[in-house]
């Protein structure tokens, strides 16, 4: 029984690391291609840079709200569901 719990914690830790990595990639992936996006849309890089800001603001505002709405559910299941929805 202890071995199963230990394995369960390892799986949860791996999922947490994966989610953290993917969130970082989602937010900062745009930064590497800002010039391509700005050239394609014929706008300045600073205007396209607002995409990163907009994403961060929406993420910062929605995180506590989603946390409150899902607090009565199993955290692990909620995390897996939101991973599927988000990605």
pLDDT averaged over every residue in the chain? 82
Domain ranges of the chain: 2-86
Judged against a pLDDT cut of 70, whether residue 3 lies above it is answered with no
User: How much is the pLDDT for 87?
Assistant: 67
What is the rounded average pLDDT of the residues 41-48? 91
What is the rounded average pLDDT of the residues 53-64? 86
C-alpha dist (Å) from residue 65 to 10, 55, 71, 79: 28, 16, 10, 14
Lookup: tokens for 14: 């791996």
User: How much is the pLDDT for 52?
Assistant: 80
Contact present, 41 and 20 (Cβ < 8 Å): no
Please write down the HEC assignment for all residues of 10-77: HHHHHHHHHHHHHHHHHHHHHHHCHHHHHHHHCCCHHHHHHHHHHHHHHHHHHHHHHHHHCCCCCHHH
Judged against a pLDDT cut of 60, whether residue 2 lies above it is answered with no
What is the rounded average pLDDT of the residues 54-79? 86
């Amino acid at each position: 029984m202890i071995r199963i719990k230990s394995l369960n914690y390892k799986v949860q830790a791996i999922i947490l690391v994966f989610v953290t990595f993917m969130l970082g990639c989602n937010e900062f992936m745009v930064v590497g291609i800002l010039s391509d996006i700005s050239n394609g849309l014929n706008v300045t890089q600073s205007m396209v840079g607002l995409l990163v800001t907009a994403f961060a603001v929406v993420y910062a505002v929605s995180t506590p709200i989603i946390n409150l709405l899902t607090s009565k559910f199993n955290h692990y299941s909620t995390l897996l569901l939101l991973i599927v929805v988000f990605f």
